């Protein structure tokens, strides 16, 4: 059984489950209800505040407690569709006796080899942690980041969390034009951003961490099933 520790943020849980179901259809042709995997989904509220710095101690404890609670339901492995949570990946992994998928590793695998300039669109704590920058550097990609991009991303995430979707889409359209002049690939490393980025198409290659993790979940499920 698949374990999904979600709820970070709450609006991203449903769309992520939909992505996982979509990957079941895409990867192994699931059609009938019985074709789809058993999933235990725990929406775990965490101490993330729009107007406060992240308390790493409280955040880490909330995720570990959620992962342990999910493990007790009998799931075979766990995936956490939240990039910020992966700042504490090693601590969470060490608290479990079952496998924990790594969203960052799965995402980096999907960056196009021809990419020359890569941007990271994520929460400030995820960017500051350096988890993606380190992984990109190992693969030889050039990482670009600008403070004004981050300011806009923070505003978009805030609008989404407040339910102001049309406003968030307007901000995203403005940011996209700026990015298109500078980079060729953007990693979407915040599940909240899927509300706006799933509607995009254009010159930039968008590598969506949510989709990458959903694919990894289905492949892991199939490996355990066979």
- Residues with catalytic function: 82, 190
Buried-state track 96-114, b at ≥16 Cβ within 10 A, e below 16: beeebbbbbebbbebbeee
Residue 93: both structure tokens together:
């992994």
d(CA 112, CA 118): 10
Secondary structure element (H or E) that encloses residue 12, with its range: helix 10-28
CA angle 77/80/85 to nearest 5° reads 135
d(CA 102, CA 89): 8
Sheet holding 185-188, edge to edge: 142-144, 117-121, 185-188, 205-208
């Amino acid at each position: 059984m698949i374990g999904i520790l979600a709820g970070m943020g709450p609006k991203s849980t449903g769309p992520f489950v939909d992505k996982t179901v979509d990957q079941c259809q895409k990867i192994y042709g699931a059609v009938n209800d019985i074709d789809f995997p058993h999933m235990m989904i725990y929406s775990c509220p965490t101490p993330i505040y729009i107007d406060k710095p992240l308390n790493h101690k409280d955040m880490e404890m909330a995720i570990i407690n959620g992962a342990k609670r999910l493990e007790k339901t009998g799931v075979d492995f766990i995936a956490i569709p939240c990039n910020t949570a992966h700042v504490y990946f090693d601590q969470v992994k060490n608290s479990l006796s079952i496998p924990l998928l790594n969203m960052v590793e799965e995402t980096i695998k999907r960056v196009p080899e021809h990419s020359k300039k890569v941007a990271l669109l994520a929460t400030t704590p995820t960017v500051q942690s350096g988890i993606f920058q380190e992984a990109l550097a190992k693969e030889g990609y050039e990482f670009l980041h600008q403070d004004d991009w981050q300011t806009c991303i923070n505003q978009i995430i805030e609008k989404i969390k407040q339910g102001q979707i049309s406003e968030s889409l307007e901000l995203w359209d403005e940011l996209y034009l700026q990015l298109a002049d500078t980079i060729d690939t953007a990693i979407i490393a915040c599940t909240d951003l899927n509300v706006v980025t799933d509607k995009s198409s254009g010159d930039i290659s968008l590598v969506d961490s949510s989709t990458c993790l959903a694919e990894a979940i289905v492949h892991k499920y199939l490996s355990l099933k066979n």
